């Protein structure tokens, strides 16, 4: 026996079957009647118009095959009540139509269903087409024993369940509906085809409308991307022009500033004769002002180099002890009051570093300088400790005025200042912290801040002990030609 099945709704072993109608196919008009009854039953069970047409068409094709190739047969309409899936609590009902005959059978049913064999009379087209219109399609055939084709389609979601009494009402409704002739059935079929074509045209029009909207949206997106690219080019040019300007102006300012600074030192060293107390005071003020401007110019030059990608990193090997010794000598003269003490905690167990020592000193110098400015009493403590992943954490903790949470991100922006009595008295350039963060990023690390008003601040930089290879590439990218 040859069988072929397509199971979307698999019948359970103990499915409940409720008979609705049985038709005998002896004459050609019985095929038309089978189609009519299939559409009427589908309508009574709550199927929509398209599903009614699909079911009626599938039944008509199978019934015509039985009439033409077996000389007749039987069409049975049933309701099958079976679980929707294995283990499911609810049971879903299906309309099952079974067309059976006692004809010669189908020699190679699978080839017919797969489209590999089509008879001259079109049998293969009918079977394959009916198979596509059903949720479940099952063919059982054997030479000399006939063929049984079973198609099933699940009842619509939300449709009321069908019981024996409902089946009786369906039979009564069918009895009241007079059978149409072949001509009326052809008219009905033509109307169904026209409705289907109209629906297809409406869907095609909707698809075309959506495609037009999609094309318009795509054009808008392309225009937006083009505008964003133009803006990005403008921003890149503006950034490059700014970096060039800062670099050029910084270089131009450094020469006269250095000359003025040397002259103030020359005067304070009494190389050209003694100074009065007032003269010494005024020259000292000039010297401090020039030093502040020089520091700002140097920071501007460093920022311009970083933004232009022209920063050169020079890694060397050194220890934390050597680093702290240099910093200690650098900052000792800056502590001018006994109310504040500066401590460097030794960390002899830490591994040596292979990174740019000058840039690390620049970062820590900015941290310590800020701590000295904003700490009126207490202590400033510089520490180094190991971090996971082969990194070292350098922290500068002070007992100063602290920083409010709302200002903790703003102080890392270029030229940003925090208002306050001490800030106004010791106002700086607003470039040290932004520069420190950029330098830390270049070195493959990060800057952290923990602070609260009145509780002091802790600025920290976490760096890998070995300068990453990617840091060299990020610091000195390939030169580009301005757009």
Element (H, E) at 221: helix 182-268
Give CA–CA dist 374/344, Å, rounded.
Answer: 18
Question: For the purposes of burial, counting CB atoms within 10 Å of the CB of 31, is it exposed (0-12), middle (13-18) or buried (19 or more)?
Answer: buried
Give CA–CA dist 464/392, Å, rounded.
Answer: 6
Cβ neighbours of residue 168 under 8 Å, at least 6 residues apart? none
Share the mean pLDDT of the chain. 80
Question: Per-residue confidence at 12, pLDDT binned at 50, 70, 90?
Answer: very low
Longest dimension (CA), the chain: 137
Question: Per-residue confidence at 47, pLDDT binned at 50, 70, 90?
Answer: very high
Q: For 351-377, what is the mean pLDDT?
A: 89
Task: Express each pLDDT in 247-287 by its tens digit.
Answer: 666 666 767 877 877 888 878 888 777 888 888 888 888 87
How many other C-beta atoms lie within 10 A of the C-beta of residue 169? 12
Residue 198 pLDDT: 77
Residue 131 pLDDT: 84
Question: Per-residue confidence at 5, pLDDT binned at 50, 70, 90?
Answer: low
Query: Is the Cβ–Cβ distance between 355 and 465 less than 8 Å?
Result: yes
Closest to 6 in 3D by CA, of 76, 70, 58? 58
Residue 417 pLDDT: 64
Q: For 221-248, what is the mean pLDDT?
A: 77
Q: Cα angle at 435 between 430 and 436, to 5 degrees?
A: 110
Element (H, E) at 333: none
Tokens of 403: 């920083």
Task: Express each pLDDT in 417-466 by its tens digit.
Answer: 665 555 545 555 567 788 888 899 989 999 999 998 888 899 999 999 99
Closest to 298 in 3D by CA, of 333, 260, 247, 264? 247
DSSP code for 132:
H
Cα torsion angle, 396, 402, 405, 410, sign: negative
Residue 391 pLDDT: 92
Residue 394 pLDDT: 94
Question: Per-residue confidence at 84, pLDDT binned at 50, 70, 90?
Answer: low
Element (H, E) at 425: helix 421-425
Per-residue pLDDT at 52 exceeds 80: yes
Question: Per-residue confidence at 94, pLDDT binned at 50, 70, 90?
Answer: very high
Query: Is the Cβ–Cβ distance between 339 and 413 less than 8 Å?
Result: no
Residue 7 pLDDT: 41
Q: Which residues pair with 391 in a beta bridge?
A: 387, 464
Question: Per-residue confidence at 469, pLDDT binned at 50, 70, 90?
Answer: confident
Query: Is the Cβ–Cβ distance between 42 and 56 less than 8 Å?
Result: yes
Task: Express each pLDDT in 127-144 by its tens digit.
Answer: 777 888 888 899 998 888
Task: Express each pLDDT in 374-411 by its tens digit.
Answer: 888 889 999 999 988 889 999 999 998 888 888 888 88
Residue with tokens 């133009």: 230
Closest to 97 in 3D by CA, of 56, 69, 46, 129? 56
DSSP code for 348:
T
Q: For 294-304, what is the mean pLDDT?
A: 70
Per-residue pLDDT at 88 exceeds 60: no
Greatest mean pLDDT among 80-89, 150-159, 220-229 lies in 150-159
Q: What percentage of the chain carries pLDDT values higher than 90?
A: 19
| Cα atoms found within 13 Å of the Cα of residue 10, Cβ hemisphere only | 7
The answer to which of 195-204, 254-263, 473-482 has the lowest mean pLDDT is 473-482
Residue 215 pLDDT: 79
Per-residue pLDDT at 297 exceeds 80: no
Residue 11 pLDDT: 43
Give CA–CA dist 294/458, Å, rounded.
Answer: 27
Closest to 395 in 3D by CA, of 461, 440, 339? 461
Q: What are phi and psi of 310, to 5 degrees?
A: -110, 15
């Amino acid at each position: 026996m040859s069988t072929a099945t397509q199971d979307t709704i698999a019948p359970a072993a103990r499915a409940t079957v409720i008979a609705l109608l049985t038709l005998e196919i002896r004459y050609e008009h019985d095929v038309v009647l089978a189609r009519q009854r299939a559409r009427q039953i589908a309508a009574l069970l709550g199927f929509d118009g398209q599903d009614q047409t699909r079911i009626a068409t599938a039944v008509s094709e199978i019934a015509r095959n039985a009439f033409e190739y077996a000389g007749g047969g039987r069409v049975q309409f049933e309701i099958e009540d079976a679980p929707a899936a294995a283990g499911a609590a609810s049971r879903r009902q299906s309309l099952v139509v079974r067309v059976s005959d006692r004809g010669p059978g189908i020699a190679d049913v699978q080839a017919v269903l797969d489209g590999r064999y089509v008879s001259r009379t079109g049998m293969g087209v009918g079977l394959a087409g009916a198979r596509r219109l059903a949720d479940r399609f099952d063919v059982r055939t054997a030479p000399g024993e006939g063929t049984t084709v079973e198609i099933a389609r699940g009842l619509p979601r939300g449709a009321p369940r069908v019981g024996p009494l409902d089946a009786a009402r369906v039979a009564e409704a069918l009895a009241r509906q007079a059978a149409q002739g072949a001509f009326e059935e052809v008219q009905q079929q033509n109307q169904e085809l026209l409705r289907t074509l109209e629906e297809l045209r409406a869907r095609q029009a909707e698809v075309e409308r959506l495609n037009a909207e999609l094309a318009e949206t795509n054009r808008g997106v392309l225009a937006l991307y083009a505008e964003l690219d133009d803006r990005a080019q403008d921003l890149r040019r503006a950034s490059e022009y700014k970096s060039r300007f800062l670099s050029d102006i910084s270089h131009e300012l450094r020469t006269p500033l250095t000359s003025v600074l040397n002259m103030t030192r020359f005067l304070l060293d009494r190389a050209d004769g003694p100074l009065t107390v007032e003269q010494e005071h005024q020259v000292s003020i000039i010297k401090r002002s020039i030093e502040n401007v020089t520091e700002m110019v140097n920071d501007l030059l460093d920022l311009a180099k970083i933004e232009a990608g022209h920063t050169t990193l020079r890694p060397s090997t050194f220890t934390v002890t050597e680093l702290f010794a240099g910093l200690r000598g650098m900052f000792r003269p800056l502590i001018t009051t006994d109310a504040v003490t500066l401590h460097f905690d030794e960390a002899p167990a830490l591994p040596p570093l292979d990174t740019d020592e000058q840039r690390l000193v620049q970062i820590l110098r900015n941290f310590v300088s800020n701590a000295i400015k904003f700490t009126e009493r207490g202590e400033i403590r510089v520490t180094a400790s190991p971090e996971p992943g082969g990194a070292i954490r350098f922290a500068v903790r002070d007992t100063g005025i602290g920083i409010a949470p709302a200002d903790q991100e703003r102080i890392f922006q270029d030229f940003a200042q925090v208002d306050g009595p001490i800030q106004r008295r010791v106002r700086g350039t607003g470039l040290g912290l932004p520069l420190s963060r950029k330098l830390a990023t270049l070195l493959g690390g990060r800057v952290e801040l923990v602070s609260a008003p009145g509780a002091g601040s802790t600025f920290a930089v976490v760096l890998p002990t070995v300068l990453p290879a990617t840091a060299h590439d990020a610091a000195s990218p390939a030169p580009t030609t301005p757009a």
